[in-house]
């Protein structure tokens, strides 16, 4: 490769990576929602989580669950993001074996 083609090749690789990243995220609000759920679990005490699990779900939670029931790819992407942090917190709190 000469001096001119190296920057062009590098730019092409960067652009293809950026395009793939945009294609891979069809749900732009998913990251923010997942971050909020993860933050809730990480900052709540075990007692607060137990009380939240006993309470009926909010209207927003119901609507979110309904959207995930209708869109399996959305559900999969959301669960892939939040499953490990939630499971670890619930395990630490003794809420799952």
Q: Are 49 and 93 in contact (CB under 8 A)?
A: yes
Decide if pLDDT at 7 tops 80: no
- Per-residue confidence (pLDDT) for residue 4, from 0 to 100: 45
Burial of 40 (0-12, 13-18, 19+ CB in 10 A): middle
- Per-residue confidence (pLDDT) for residue 28, from 0 to 100: 83
Q: Burial code of 82-91, b = ≥16 C-beta within 10 A, e = fewer? A: beebbeebbe
pLDDT in tens, 8-59: 344 344 444 444 444 556 788 889 899 999 999 999 999 999 999 899 999 9
Distances (CA, A) of 28 to 36, 63, 84: 14, 17, 21
Decide if pLDDT at 69 tops 80: yes
Q: What's the rounded Cα separation, in Å, for the pair 78 and 65?
A: 11
The model's pTM is 0.68
């Amino acid at each position: 490769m000469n001096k001119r083609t190296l920057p062009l090749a590098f730019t092409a690789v960067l652009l293809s990576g950026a395009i793939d990243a945009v294609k891979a995220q069809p749900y732009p609000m998913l990251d923010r929602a997942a971050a909020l759920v993860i933050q809730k679990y990480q900052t709540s005490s075990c007692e607060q989580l137990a009380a939240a699990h006993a309470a009926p779900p909010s209207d927003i939670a119901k609507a979110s669950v309904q959207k995930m029931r209708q869109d399996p790819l959305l559900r999969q992407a959301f669960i892939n993001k939040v499953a490990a942090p939630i499971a670890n917190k619930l395990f630490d709190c003794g809420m799952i074996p």
